[in-house]
Amino acid sequence: MEARFSFQFCHLLLLLLQSTLSNSVLAIPHKIPRLTPHRETLTRRDPNKNLSASAISDDFITLFYTQTIDHFNYGPQSYATFQQRYVINFKYWGGSNSPIFAYLGAEEQIDFDLQSIGFLSANARHFKALQVYIEHRYYGESIPFGTMEQAMNDMNTRGYFNSAQAIADYAQVLIHIKEKFSAQNSPIIVVGGSYGGMLASWFRLKYPHIALGALASSAPILYFDNITPQNGYYSIVTKVFKEASESCYETIRRSWSEIDKVAAQHKGLSILSKKFKTCAHLNSSAELKDYLVDVYAGAAQYNAPPDYPVTVVCRGIDGAPNETDILGRIFAGVVAYNKKSSCYETNGYKYPTETNVGWKWQTCSEMVMPLGTGINDTMFPPSPFNLDQFIKDCKSTYGVPPRPHWVTTNYGGHDIKLILRRFGSNIIFSNGLRDPYSSGGVLEDISQSIIAVSTVNGSHCLDVLVPDQSDPSWLIEQRNKEIEIIDGWIAKYYADLLI
Is residue 47 within 8 Å of 118, Cβ to Cβ? yes
Residue 208 interacting with its own copies (CB under 8 A): yes
Least Å from the CB of residue 86 to its own copies: 17
Residue 76 interacting with its own copies (CB under 8 A): yes
Is residue 100 within 8 Å of 188, Cβ to Cβ? yes
Mask 346-375, x = binds its own copies (CB under 8 A)?
A: -------------------xx---------
* Residue 171 vs 483, nearer CB to its own copies: 171
Residue 449 interacting with its own copies (CB under 8 A): yes
Is residue 371 within 8 Å of 124, Cβ to Cβ? no
Among 57, 156, 470, 473, binds its own copies (CB under 8 A): 156
Among 265, 284, 409, 480, binds its own copies (CB under 8 A): 409
Q: What's 91's DSSP letter? A: T
Where does this chain touch its own copies (CB under 8 A) — which range of 96-104, 287-295, 372-380, 424-432?
Answer: 424-432
Residue 322 interacting with its own copies (CB under 8 A): no
CA nearest 221: which of 455, 25, 419?
419
Least Å from the CB of residue 203 to its own copies: 12
Beta bridge partners of 373: 383
CA nearest 326: which of 238, 243, 273, 254?
254
| CA quadruple 482, 487, 490, 492: dihedral sign | negative
| CA quadruple 136, 27, 394, 356: dihedral sign | negative
Is residue 117 within 8 Å of 103, Cβ to Cβ? yes
Among 24, 121, 163, 194, which one carries the catalytic annotation? 194
* Residue 76 vs 321, nearer CB to its own copies: 76
CB burial of residue 355 (10 Å; 0-12, 13-18, 19+)? buried
* Residue 47 vs 220, nearer CB to its own copies: 220
* Residue 185 vs 376, nearer CB to its own copies: 185
Least Å from the CB of residue 409 to its own copies: 5
Residues in binding contact with its own copies, number by CB under 8 A: 62
Beta bridge partners of 102: 132, 190
194 is catalytic: yes
Among 279, 343, 400, 476, binds its own copies (CB under 8 A): 400
Where does this chain touch its own copies (CB under 8 A) — which range of 11-19, 270-278, 375-383, 413-421?
Answer: 413-421
Residue 71 interacting with its own copies (CB under 8 A): yes
CA nearest 482: which of 431, 444, 428?
428
Among 419, 444, 476, 477, binds its own copies (CB under 8 A): 419
Identify each DSSP E strand in 47-186 by its residue range: 61-68, 81-89, 100-104, 130-134
Residue 164 interacting with its own copies (CB under 8 A): yes
* Residue 99 vs 316, nearer CB to its own copies: 99
Is residue 24 within 8 Å of 454, Cβ to Cβ? no
Q: What amino acid occupies position 66? A: T
Residue 43 interacting with its own copies (CB under 8 A): no
* Residue 161 vs 234, nearer CB to its own copies: 161
Q: How far is CA 248 from CA 30, 121, 258, 456, in A?
A: 25, 39, 15, 21
Mask 249-288, x = binds its own copies (CB under 8 A)?
A: ----------------------------------------
Residue 158 interacting with its own copies (CB under 8 A): yes
What lies within 8 Å, CB to CB, of 301 at 6+ separation is 30, 38, 237, 435, 436, 437, 459, 460
Least Å from the CB of residue 147 to its own copies: 18
User: How many residues in the chain?
Assistant: 499
> Within 425-444, which residues bind its own copies (CB under 8 A)?
425-426
* Residue 243 vs 415, nearer CB to its own copies: 415
| CA quadruple 423, 233, 160, 60: dihedral sign | negative
* Residue 91 vs 206, nearer CB to its own copies: 206
CA nearest 103: which of 21, 173, 180, 183?
173
Catalytic machinery residues? 194, 435, 460
Binding site for its own copies (CB under 8 A): 68, 70-79, 155-162, 164-165, 168, 171-172, 175, 205-210, 365-366, 399-401, 403, 405-406, 408-416, 418-426, 449, 492-493, 496-497
